[in-house]
């Protein structure tokens, strides 16, 4: 019936094989963003609360939850910002805190954060290290 049916199958196979490596790279990149980073600290919970509160005032973060085991906050991007905002998670552990910053889960999907998630984590790391001053 169709002489080119063999070519069509090969074309469809190539069409499937080309995007697979790209999809794997994107999956791996997005998955790695979900990993928490450990920050060693000798501060007690009140010291951590105080420093995170100062960060939230300095950088206009809205704290959604101050709990016994974690703090959850989100940023407020400006009108001309390239992202929809970030959510910041800080989980307490003995002698350390686990920190992550991801694109805001309650807003539109964004593939990249233009370095804002790394900057949020760096700010928290600096604030929780001994004698660090809040500010950039």
CATH of residue 58: 3.30.530.50
80 and 124 together in one domain: yes
What confidence score (pLDDT) does residue 20 get?
82
Determine the average pLDDT of the residues in 115-121: 88
pTM above 0.85, yes or no: no
Determine the average pLDDT of the residues in 105-124: 78
Residue range 22-71, pLDDT digits in tens = 888 877 777 777 788 999 998 889 999 999 999 999 998 999 999 899 99
104 and 52 together in one domain: yes
119 and 64 together in one domain: yes
73 and 115 together in one domain: yes
Count other C-beta atoms under 10 Å from residue 33's C-beta.
Answer: 14
Range of the domain at 74: 35-128
61 and 122 together in one domain: yes
Question: Which DSSP symbol is given to 95?
Answer: T
Nearest Cα to 123, choosing from 108, 112, 134?
A: 134
| Percent with pLDDT over 90 in the chain | 35
Count Cβ neighbours within 10 Å for each residue of 39-64 and write b for 16 or more, e otherwise: bebebeeeebbebbbebbeebebebe
Check if the beta carbon of residue 52 is closer than 8 Å to that of residue 39. no
């Amino acid at each position: 019936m169709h002489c080119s049916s063999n070519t069509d199958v090969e074309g469809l196979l190539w069409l499937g094989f080309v995007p697979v490596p790209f999809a794997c790279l994107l999956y791996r990149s997005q998955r790695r963003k979900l990993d928490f980073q450990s920050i060693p600290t000798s501060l007690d919970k009140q010291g951590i609360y105080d420093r995170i509160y100062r960060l939230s005032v300095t950088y206009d973060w809205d704290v959604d939850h101050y709990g016994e085991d974690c703090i959850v906050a989100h940023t407020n991007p400006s009108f001309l910002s390239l992202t929809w905002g970030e959510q910041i998670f800080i989980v307490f552990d003995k002698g350390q805190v686990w920190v992550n910053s991801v694109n805001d889960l309650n807003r539109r999907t964004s593939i990249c954060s233009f370095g804002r998630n790394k900057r949020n984590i760096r700010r928290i790391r600096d604030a929780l290290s001994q004698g660090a001053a809040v500010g950039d």
